[in-house]
Amino acid sequence: MNFENNLAFAKHLDETDSLKEFRSEFLFPNHKNGEFIYLCGNSLGLQPKVAREVLNRQLDNWANYAVEGWFDGEEPWMFYHKALKNLMAPIVGASPMEVCPMNTLTVNLHLLMVSFYQPKGKRFKIIMEGGAFPSDQYAIESQVKFHGFNPNEAIIEVFPREGEEILRNEDIVAKIKENGEEIALVLFGGINYYTGQWYDMEKITTAGHDVGAIVGWDLAHAAGNVPLQLHNWDVDFACWCSYKYQNSGPGGISGIFVHQKHHNNTSLNRFAGWWGYQESKRFKMEKGFVAEAGADGWQVSCTQVMPMALYHASLQIFDKAGNVEALRNKSISLTGYLEFIINQVNKEINLLQFKIITPKNPIDRGSQLSIIAAQKGKEIFDGLIDFGVLGDWREPNVIRLSPIPLYNSFEDIYLTGQALLKVCKQVLNINIS
C-alpha cells in the first residue's frame, strides 16, 4: 500500500475498514477535553464497554444465589471456565481441551515447568532469549535452583549479534543444535516485549524437538496479537496473560495450553489441587489425585469468577470480530502506516531522530513498534503524553507504540505523527513550518 501523510488519507482508510465498528465497544481514557490516542495495548488493553455488564451479571449471581451460584443460574460457576475455553482456543490455534483459563501468568509458568522441566543426567539446561521479560528470567532461575543447579551453568541465553537489536531465528536454531544433548527445555517468549520481534515459533519448536527437548512458550505479547497455531506447530505447552492484547483488565486471569499428546501422560510431575481433580468425582473428596482430562487437569484452585468474567467480556468481542486474519491484516496495515509516519517525521525535522528497532518485515512482528529516540527520548515520551498520545516507555531508551486492530484507527496514527512533530519542535527546539 502506498501511504500518504494527510488526514484525508487516514480517514479514507478508516471508512473502508471492516473492523471499524469495534472501536466503539471500548472505553478510552480521558485527556484534558477529549480522549487519549491510546497506543499502549501491549501493556494493558482498553476496557470493553460490556465488561461492566458481564461483571455485574456475576455480582448479581453472587447476590441472588450465594454459594448455590456454583451450580445454579444461567452460568454456574462450576462450569464457567468452559465457556471461555471455546473462545480462547481459536485465538491460540488449539482445541478447547488443550486450553484453560486459570491463575496468573508467572504462577502458570511455574506450574507448567513443574511438569515439563524434568532434568535428567546431562540433559538439564534451559535455553531462552537473552533479555527476556524479568518474570521469565526469575521464574527460570528459581526453577533451576529448585532442581539443584547453578543458573550460570543451567541457563543458556541467546542474544542478538554485536551491533544488532534483533535476535536472528537461525542463531536460535544453531544454538539449540549446538547444545542439543544438554537441553531439557526450550522456553522463549513468542514476541519479545522490548523489541516487538515475533520469533519463528514453528521453526524453533521443531528445532527443539529435533534434539529431544521439550518446547514451551510465554505468549504474553503474542496471544491475541498474532495468529498462532500451537497445536499444529506441536508446541508442548504455553501460557499467557490476558490483560494486554486480550483486554481482560489489570492483573487479569491467565491462560494455559497443553498439547493433547501430553494429556494422558501420568509420568508428568504436577503440583495438584482440588480443582484439577476429575470433575465427575471432585465432590467425593477422595484421596489420591486423578487429573481431569486435558489442560483442565493442571488447575489448582477454584475458578476465579470475577477475573474470568472480565476475560469473557473481551473474548466475546474477539468472537464477533470472527476472522483472525482480518485482525492480522489490519494490524499489519496499522503498524505499516505508523512506520511510514515515523519516517515522515524524521524527514520533516531533517534528522534521524527516531530509529525503529522492531523488525521491518511484517511477518516478524505484531502490533507494536519499538522506537529509540536519538535525543531526549524520555522528554519526547512525556511530551507525547501531554499532547494526548499514550504509549509506553521502557528503560533505557525505548518508546513502545502499539496500534491495536480492535480499537485503534488510522486517524490515530496520523495524529500521533502530528503530535511527534509538535513535541520535536518543543523538546529539540526545531522550527517546523
- Do the domain assignments include residue 44? no
Provide the pLDDT confidence category of residue 331 given band limits of 50, 70 and 90: very high
Rg of the Cα atoms in the chain: 23
Label residues 80-108 b or e (16+ Cβ within 10 Å = b).
Answer: bbebbbebbbbbbbbbbebbbbbbbbbeb
**Is it the case that residue 429 has pLDDT exceeding 90?**
no
Angle between helices 7-15 and 410-427 (to 10 degrees): 150
At residue 433, the pLDDT reads: 60
Domain ends where: 321, 354, 388? 321
- Do the domain assignments include residue 77? yes
At residue 432, the pLDDT reads: 64
Joined grid coordinates for residue 44: 494493558
**Is it the case that residue 234 has pLDDT exceeding 90?**
yes
Same structural domain for residues 298 and 332? Answer: no
Query: pTM value?
Result: 0.96
Residue 40, SS3?
A: strand
User: What is the signed CA dihedral for 102, 259, 196, 165, rounded to 10 degrees?
Assistant: 130
Provide the pLDDT confidence category of residue 20 given band limits of 50, 70 and 90: very high
Q: What average pLDDT does the structure give for the chain? A: 96
Residue 62 sits in a domain whose CATH number is 3.40.640.10
- Do the domain assignments include residue 1? no
Same structural domain for residues 64 and 30? Answer: no
Peptide bond into 396 cis (omega under 30): yes
Closest CA to 127 of 209, 203, 188, 86: 188
Side by side, which strands form the sheet with 237-241? 99-101, 254-258, 237-241, 214-218, 183-189, 125-129, 155-158
Strands (E), 384-425: 389-390, 392-394, 398-401
Phi, psi values for residue 211, rounded to 5°: -100, 5
User: What share of the chain in percent tops pLDDT 70?
Assistant: 100
At residue 422, the pLDDT reads: 95
| Domain, as residue range, for 264 | 53-321
In terms of DSSP H, where are the helices of 264-409? 305-321, 324-349, 377-386
Same structural domain for residues 93 and 186? Answer: yes
- Do the domain assignments include residue 340? yes
Report the first-to-last Cα separation within the chain, whole angstroms: 27
**Is it the case that residue 262 has pLDDT exceeding 80?**
yes
Rounded distance between C-alpha atoms, residue 318 and residue 334, angstroms: 18
**Is it the case that residue 385 has pLDDT exceeding 90?**
yes
Rounded distance between C-alpha atoms, residue 297 and residue 280, angstroms: 12
User: What share of the chain in percent tops pLDDT 90?
Assistant: 95
In this predicted model, what pLDDT tens digit does every residue of 24-80 receive, in sequence order?
Answer: 999 999 999 899 999 999 999 999 999 999 999 999 999 999 999 999 998 999 999
Same structural domain for residues 14 and 66? Answer: no
Q: What angle do CA 104, 106, 107 make, to 5 degrees?
A: 65
Residue 386 sits in a domain whose CATH number is 3.90.1150.10
In this predicted model, what pLDDT tens digit does every residue of 281-330 receive, in sequence order?
Answer: 999 999 999 999 999 999 999 999 999 999 999 999 999 998 788 999 99
- What type of residue is 428? L
In this predicted model, what pLDDT tens digit does every residue of 156-171 receive, in sequence order?
Answer: 999 999 999 999 999 9
**Is it the case that residue 260 has pLDDT exceeding 80?**
yes
Looking at the 3D structure of the chain, how many domains does it have? Answer: 2
